[in-house]
Amino acid sequence: MTMLEATFEQQLNRYFTNCKWTQVGREFQLQGPGLSYLGLDANLSANLAGFSASELSLTDVADFHEVKDGYNLCFEDTWSLLFWLRYLKANPGVRKINIIHLDDHTDLMPPLLYKKQGEYFQVTDDKKVDFNEPESIIDFIREGSINLGSFIAPLIFFLDRVNIFHLRKEPSPNGPTKQYLAESYINDFPYLDKDRISISVTDRNDEPAKGFYYRGNDLQSLIGEINGDPTFLHIDLDYFLNQFNGNFRNANPANIITHVELEEEIRSICAALSRIRPQIVDVTIATSPGFCPSSHWELLISNFMERFNKI
């Protein structure tokens, strides 16, 4: 392999992050999300039972998403966008929302979509994406153009205003930070020559902002400036416990965090949410296989929803 070929392959792998793809001549085709990280959790297959009335196997993980009693459940959090768009279609007057985002990751990566004359298209085949029709985006999720970590950016482009309140466990000794969310574009694979939609998190206010990005490790203070707009509560279970992080096998967690500690954390979060409970219009929980160990999913979901339903 020549240096030029190696550089081209590196560009491809970076561009199609978390995707399976094929190349035929000058054409690229998406083959769905990459799921290599599913093998990190040795107990995943055995622990899928009980999350659906249907029998589930590893081949169902990427596609699983269901409406439960009082919340939406998916394994891969990409499906959160589908649930949000369904709410927005049912409430067409809503053009400004808040997202309370419990996650060990930002999830503001650029999708494999570009914008032209106010419309959105898939970069590989120019297929049109219509965010006004939620069910139509299912194919784009299955193909991989809207993928792990890139499902929030389309919502920010689609709406007039989105404020994100990102709760993460990393220390924030000076309290929550506040930055601007701005629409941007990235051309990181000149071979296709498409400017992908992207979101910049910046301290500069000289660009038209689509909202604010707050980040901190204490929910009470994090949502101190939240307005009264309808609010989506998004919970990726790797916020509570990210044992694998999608890239390494930790066969000996050695009680990374105890059940008692997890339950106390949930109690504290629900106490903070009680102040704004009436404006929370959607709760979506993603279990995050290959990140949060499947042995903890049932405990976290049942404990959280039990407490949340009481506030």
CA 135 to CA 150: how far, in whole Å? 18
* Domains of the chain: total: 1
Q: What was the pLDDT predicted at 51?
A: 84
Residue 6 lies in a domain: no
Residue 263 lies in a domain: yes
Q: What was the pLDDT predicted at 21?
A: 66
Task: Assess contact for 191 and 177: CB atoms under 8 A.
Answer: no
Q: What was the pLDDT predicted at 28?
A: 75
| Confidence check: pLDDT of 139 > 60 | yes
More confident call, 143 vs 252: 143
DSSP string, 41-72: -TTHHHHTTTSSSS---GGGTTT-EEE-SSSE
SS3 category, 76: coil
Percent of the chain with pLDDT over 90: 66
Residue-wise pLDDT for 140-195, tens only, equals 999 989 998 999 999 999 999 999 999 999 888 889 999 999 999 988 777 777 89
Residue-wise pLDDT for 8-53, tens only, equals 566 666 666 777 767 776 677 776 777 777 778 888 998 998 888 7
| Confidence check: pLDDT of 4 > 60 | no
Residue-wise pLDDT for 208-222, tens only, equals 789 999 999 999 999
The closest of 161, 142, 13 to 76, measured between CA atoms, is 142
Provide the domain limits for residue 157.
Answer: 37-122+148-308
Residue 179 lies in a domain: yes
Q: What was the pLDDT predicted at 39?
A: 78
Q: What was the pLDDT predicted at 54?
A: 81
Predicted TM-score (pTM) of the model is: 0.92
Mean pLDDT of all residues in the chain?
89
SS3 category, 234: strand
Residue 278 lies in a domain: yes
Q: Which of 16-25, 129-138, 235-244 has the lowest mean pLDDT?
A: 16-25
